[in-house]
Structure 1
Amino acid sequence: MDKTFIGNDEAFLNLNSYAMSQNPGPLILLGKRGLGKRQAAMDVIAQLMGCGSDELYKNPDFFLLDRQQDTIKVEDVLALLDKSSLAALKGKKFFLVCNAENMNVQAQNKLLKLLEDKNHTNVLIFLCNQDALLETIKSRCNIISFDPLSVEEISPYFLEKGIAREELLFAAYLCDFCPHAIENMGDCYPALLETCKNLMLARKKEEFFQILHLIREKDPENFYEVHSAHYWVALQMFYYLFEQLLLQKLMIAKAENSMDFKSLSKLYSLPHIYQICSVLSAHQKQWQNSSYSKNDFFDLIRCMVKEP
């Protein structure tokens, strides 16, 4: 099996062993979004089915359950169970469940019988971006973990993608050190890069309001409206800015391939930077819990501008 993701060599070895199994059991690929889990799962299934990964969607023994970010409900699992009762053309059927952490408890419980298929005629593979499945599910599965990478591991891939050397650390932060996420960023990457560079040049904190288009009421270019669809990445941009600023304040050696912070460090005391980093972490958790609003964004910006 060819390797189609960057790094995570141990995961690749485990996937190869799994792909050579005569009776593969249920499998969980666990790790953050952007580490190449989905293509890896497709490659494993294709090898077990004796076809190319680009042919899977036409194969009647392959079933994909992908609700994107929506909740996977009982009715979705019941439809999958109906398909599991059909005879396989070549002895086994494979079910790939994407974003499996979005399955509600009732849906997960409905899968238990299928996971206990001792004849291995129905093989379930889960893609999980978070460790959120029930223990009763996990105990019946093999688990292969994918970990975020180092900047050194990511850099060759980013350079091939045309990212400038001085932007490598910035790009790694935006991807949360999960390199394949860069492929889905589209126009938001250059926009966030430009915003970050402008913030680095700020000579007073009040300029943040101007740079983020927060001065004029209902400005269509205000930062939150422009980036609300990928706000997690925007939070990563702020985190890069202030964590690197913190390292500079602590006189820790400047990270290789990081950008120049110009005069921004003169505007912030060490306690203020610590406070902002702490608040950013809380906002990231709040965003993950889907309880974030535009008012929360304004609170974050006020924290960045006002000294504690």
Structure 2
Amino acid sequence: MFEDILGNDDVKKYLTNCIENKNFSHSYIFSGIKGIGKYTFAKDFAKCILEDSMMQDYYELGPDGKSIKVAQIRELQNVINIKPTFSKKSVYIIDDADLMTIEAQNSLLKTLEEPPEYAVIILIVHNERSILSTVKSRCVNIKFSKLSDKDIKKYFLKNDLSFEDKNINVFKVLDGSLNNIDFIRDDYDELLKLTVFVTNLKKNKVINFFQDASVFYDNHDKIIRLLEYLNILLFENSYFQLIEIVEKTKNKILMNNNFEMCIDYMILNFIEELY
């Protein structure tokens, strides 16, 4: 079991022990960044709990739009009240559970406090800070780690993908997650521009500075990922004083401040620090 899943051997060991001893909690939180296998682990764990390849006593829900709403949780609670038909247990997975509204979490709390004996609820969480402490306290919290470069190489080889590139560091972009593979493929040109941007910082090419900075202004929808990769490049080149500027810019954007003004803030502060 779990043989085909990369990384997180400690999680494999723990879940395997639960399965072998048929010792299951009523509720789990699988927490960690996106793209490290939490959902795949949850599905395989559910199959083992149910001992049914058809997974007939299984229910799954995810966001309706940008959040998981209280109506969805109430529907889940109605389903949970139905006893399993084919297995001794029923498994319920809430994917992107950190997108539950506060009202939805408070509603779920009632079930977590008094779950049916047959119920196993798994919350898949990417941002644990979004989960109420009262919800967390009633779940077994299983923390997933980032994938190692070795694990990522295995994935690339298995899927006939190349991980060697002279222009960008693939492993730095992925940062322990397979979630960014599409980012590398779809936004390679932008990543390359960032590499040139930092290279020109090193060469003090002031003339090229604003031209290079266009990569930020032109990519509103993917700016957070680009800023995260920029910080990786800055760290590699020992521009520690600029990393804090990038972090402040990222936080301003996440707080829905004016996009262009945020980028202006970053660029002007870069110039002040460097020139």
Shorter-chain TM-score: which interval?
A: 0.7 to 0.9
For 1:232, the equivalent position in structure 2 comes to 224
CA contact (8 A) 1:206 1:305 kept: no
For 1:241, the equivalent position in structure 2 comes to 233
CA gap of 1:81–1:299, structure 2 versus 1, over 3 A, is same
For 1:162, the equivalent position in structure 2 comes to 162
CA gap of 1:184–1:64, structure 2 versus 1, over 3 A, is farther
Please give the residue correspondences for 1:4-23 in structure 2 after superposition, counting only pairs within 5 Å: 4-22=4-22
CA contact (8 A) 2:68 2:99 kept: yes
CA contact (8 A) 1:72 1:102 kept: yes
Give yes or no for the alignment of 1:195 onto 2:193: yes
- Cα deviation code 1:32-58 (max 9, x no counterpart): 112111111111112222344xx55xx
Give the deviation of 1:164 after TM superposition.
0.7
Aligned with 1:146 (options 134, 144, 147): 144
Give yes or no for the alignment of 1:81 onto 2:74: no
Aligned with 2:245 (options 266, 269, 279): 279
Read off the aligned partner of 1:31 and give its amino acid letter: G
Read off the aligned partner of 1:115 and give its amino acid letter: L
* CA distance in 1 between partners of 2:89 and 2:21 (Å): 13
CA contact (8 A) 1:31 1:129 kept: yes
* CA distance in 1 between partners of 2:149 and 2:167 (Å): 11
For 1:270, the equivalent position in structure 2 comes to none
CA contact (8 A) 1:69 1:99 kept: no
For 1:269, the equivalent position in structure 2 comes to none
Structure 1 alignment gaps of length 5 or more: 214-221, 247-272
For 2:44, the equivalent position in structure 1 comes to 43
Give the deviation of 1:244 after TM superposition.
0.8
**TM-score, length of structure 1 as denominator length:** 0.75
Please give the residue correspondences for 1:132-143 in structure 2 after superposition, counting only pairs within 5 Å: 132=129, 133-143=131-141
CA contact (8 A) 1:6 1:179 kept: no
Give the deviation of 1:152 after TM superposition.
5.0
Please give the residue correspondences for 1:56-135 in structure 2 after superposition, counting only pairs within 5 Å: 56=55, 59=56, 61-67=57-63, 70-90=66-86, 91-117=88-114, 119-132=116-129, 133-135=131-133
CA gap of 1:199–1:285, structure 2 versus 1, over 3 A, is same
Give the deviation of 1:97 after TM superposition.
0.9
CA gap of 1:68–1:124, structure 2 versus 1, over 3 A, is same
Q: Secondary structure at the match of 1:70?
A: coil
CA contact (8 A) 1:4 1:36 kept: no
Give the deviation of 1:137 after TM superposition.
1.5
Give the deviation of 1:118 after TM superposition.
5.2
Could you say what the CA RMSD is over the residues aligned between the two structures, in angstroms?
2.8
Read off the aligned partner of 1:172 and give its amino acid letter: F
For 2:35, the equivalent position in structure 1 comes to 34
CA contact (8 A) 1:34 1:180 kept: yes
State, as a whole percentage, how many aligned pairs show the same letter: 22
**TM-score, length of structure 2 as denominator length:** 0.83
CA contact (8 A) 1:69 1:102 kept: no
Structure 2 alignment gaps of length 5 or more: none
CA gap of 1:100–1:92, structure 2 versus 1, over 3 A, is same
Give the 4+ runs in structure 1 shifted more than 6 A.
none
* CA distance in 1 between partners of 2:32 and 2:249 (Å): 21
Give the deviation of 1:67 after TM superposition.
0.9
Give the deviation of 1:110 after TM superposition.
1.0
